Structure 1
Amino acid sequence: MPRPASDTRYPFADVADAARALPACVLDAELVAVLDSGEVAFSRLQSRSGRGPRRGEDFTVHLAVFDLLALGDTGWRSRGYDERRRQLLDVLADGPALIRPVPPTGDLATALRWVGALGGVEGVVMKPSRPYIAGRQSGWLKWRRMHTSEAAVLGVSGRTPATQCLVLGLPRPDGRMRAVGVSLPLAPGVRRELLPLLHPTGEGVVELSGTVGGLPGAAPVPYLPVMATVVVEIEADQEGPTEFGRFRHRPRVLRVRGDMAPTDLPANR
């Protein structure tokens, strides 16, 4: 982690300034917004000005550290996780309160208690004591609590059958549809079931804001609008579109809900 200048023009300048107290290192970490209740609220990160905590806010921002990749000029990726963890704790032992290691456990009962009380955290990661390897060869596993719900189909995106996905929507309180996310690519069976049910609006290809289709700053998503008459069942790692009225991660479309109409869907504010 480079030593940042103390300059409030930088996003999350208070966290960056706290990092100056650490030795030169490379960390695997994530910014988290922690509510006064102790729960994590990712959406607060996107609404924050980045110039330090403002008076009256109901959260503080911390850097949750998962792993140590390098310390000074020495790389630590080739070491086992247990060794990396011990060194990480030594690096952060007398460090700033805003930068803390995430808690680990090797005890199954403790892990199960965490799973039952995630408090806004999307999942639990399981790491073997191996070298730090990027990609699917890492051997890491992630458990997420998944939720099913319904959404209307507002459009289709993707240039090939293998990449086709849906623009999903929910009604506003006034009854108008609002896009709340973009699905993962459709499974072949779901795609075949949907094909005869979807009818283009005739508008031609339009663009959806990248914030709705992915993350802030993401490229716009081109899609073909369709008549909002079809409802699908979806699976996501959150109960509903809670962050700025959208899904944080792309939901998976499970099936067509032929027994439901868009007017049966709950309003999304």
Structure 2
Amino acid sequence: MELPINPPVKPMLAKPVAAIPPGQIYEPKWDGFRSIIFRDGDEIEIGSRNEKPMTRYFPEVVEAVRANFPPRAVIDGEVIVADTARNTLDFEALQQRIHPAASRVKMLSEQTPAGFVAFDLLALGDEDLTEVPFGERRARLLEVLKDAKPPVYVTPATDDLETATRWFAEFEGAGLDGLIAKPRDLIYQPDKRVMSKIKHKRTADCVVAGYRVHKSADNRIGSLLLGLYDERGVLASVGVIGAFPIAVREELFAELQPLVTSFEGHPWNWAAHEDGERTPRKNEYSRWNNGKDLSFTPLRPERVVEVRYDYMEGVRFRHTAQFERWRPDREPRTCTYEQLERPVQFDLAEVLTSR
């Protein structure tokens, strides 16, 4: 490639803030794979946060770029998968698209096709736009993709705080992840947290039903496994918490030893596991850390912890939850899905087609 900016390039990042800052340009925060896409004629590369190309995993996006991008351009955005039946983003299906087998890549590109939501223009032709203010880059992006057809989209944006506040409440129902705020005069700064992100924060009381030890020592807690009781009275796995200081990890390990039990009679008893049950899986391995053992030590489900979480994806927390406080006053059986706040459904297509 011979572009003004050539891969790999790390994307510009955002830092979390508690409230929507006034006087900026606001965009929905998309829940996908962040990607800078480079096109130089027939050469196309789909970049990623870790600078490794994702081109081979998304052949349908490559074709969409060829059909919709200018002949020579560098555009920042997000690769997404939409669940048309539920009318929401589907991050789990997007994760499944990263597969080593070419035959499966081809099959998934047809079964769960991805799209690309553009939100910044870094280069056009021989012109490097990274030193141009964001407000101007945004206007140029709208111009060059004005005739783009799905699955290539331009993210909606507004400079109206009231509209942004409404988006923050409504768009979560379409699977979006909050808001991004950008100063109008912001130049593009790779790998710098110079934008702001505003995300939904909620709490839930969860049952602690197991733990994994920390990689540094066998007497330190690595993460606690969280559960909620479903409508059948079955304890379902909803996620983990794991951000503890070393001293706390050791204290927790000692505190939890009296609760260690066998899998016999445990809610997540492997022997009683039924296909489709929402429990952790014995000897499960992480797709992202090949060979990492995700088995755990079972605990009697007697302790309750309050955690902070962003939002649910299906029946689980979308991201790792954060410790808030212990709840000795709560009875574990009262920790059910009914306590969770459910966002009002919103039409994903309306978000995608609005500029």
The reply to whether TM is greater than 0.5 is yes
The letter of the residue matching 2:239 is G
1:19-46 Cα distance to aligned partner (Å, 9 max, x none): 1122232222112334367543434435
Unaligned runs of 5+ in 1: 55-59, 211-215
Of residues 102, 105, 130, the one that matches 2:186 is 130
CA deviations on 1:163-202 (whole Å, 9 max, x unpaired) are 9432333457776655432324136897688455412747
Residue of structure 1 equivalent to 2:346: none
Question: Does the 8 Å contact 2:211/2:222 carry over to 1?
Answer: no
Contact 2:211 2:221 (C-alpha < 8 Å) held by counterparts: no
- Number of corresponding residues: 249
Q: Which residue of 2 aligns with 1:16?
A: 62
d(CA) in 1 for partners of 2:195, 2:120: 13
**Greater CA deviation, 13-22 or 115-124?**
13-22
Number of the residue aligned with 1:28: 76
Mean alpha-carbon deviation: is it higher for 10-19 or for 44-53? 44-53
Between 1:29-38 and 1:78-87, the stretch displaced more is: 29-38
Structure 1 residue 248, shift from structure 2 partner? 2.1
Matches within 5 A, 1:103-182: 103-118=156-171, 119=173, 120-128=175-183, 129-135=185-191, 137-153=192-208, 154-159=210-215, 164-171=222-229, 177-182=235-240
**Following TM superposition, by how much is the alpha carbon of 1:111 offset from its aligned partner in structure 2, in angstroms?**
0.8
Give secondary structure in 2 for the equivalent of 1:19. helix
Pick 1 or 2: higher relative contact order, CA cutoff 8 A, min separation 6: 2
Q: Report SS of the residue matched to 2:198.
A: strand
Q: 1:4 to 1:225 in 2, by over 3 A?
A: same
CA contact (8 A) 1:165 1:182 kept: yes
Rounded to whole Å, the distance in 1 between the matches of 2:317 and 2:232 is 21
Q: 1:101 to 1:177 in 2, by over 3 A?
A: same
Q: Deviations over 1:122-141 (max 9, x none)?
A: 11000112112234x43211
Please name the residue that 1:213 is paired with: none
- Tell me the equivalent position of 1:57: none
Report SS of the residue matched to 1:52. Answer: helix
- What do the CA deviations read for 1:55-91 (whole angstroms, capped 9, x no partner)? xxxxx74311121223345433232211221221222
TM-score (normalised: structure 2): 0.58
Q: Is the CA contact (8 Å cut-off) linking 1:170 and 1:180 kept in structure 2?
A: yes
Mean CA deviation greater in 93-102 or 259-268: 259-268
Distance of aligned partners of 1:71 and 1:105 in 2 relative to their CA distance in 1, 3 Å threshold: same
Structure 1 225/70 Cα, relative in aligned 2: closer, same or farther at 3 Å?
farther
Q: Give the alignment's Cα RMSD to 1 decimal.
A: 3.8
Instruction: Name whichever of 228-237 and 27-36 sits farther off.
Output: 27-36
3-state secondary structure, aligned to 2:122: strand
SS of equivalent to 1:198 = helix
- The match for 2:91 among 42, 51, 58 is 42
Note if contact 1:198-1:226 (Cα within 8 Å) is conserved in structure 2.
Answer: no
1:100 paired to 2:158: no
User: Cα distance, 1:145 vs. partner?
Assistant: 1.2
Match of 1:252 in 2: 322
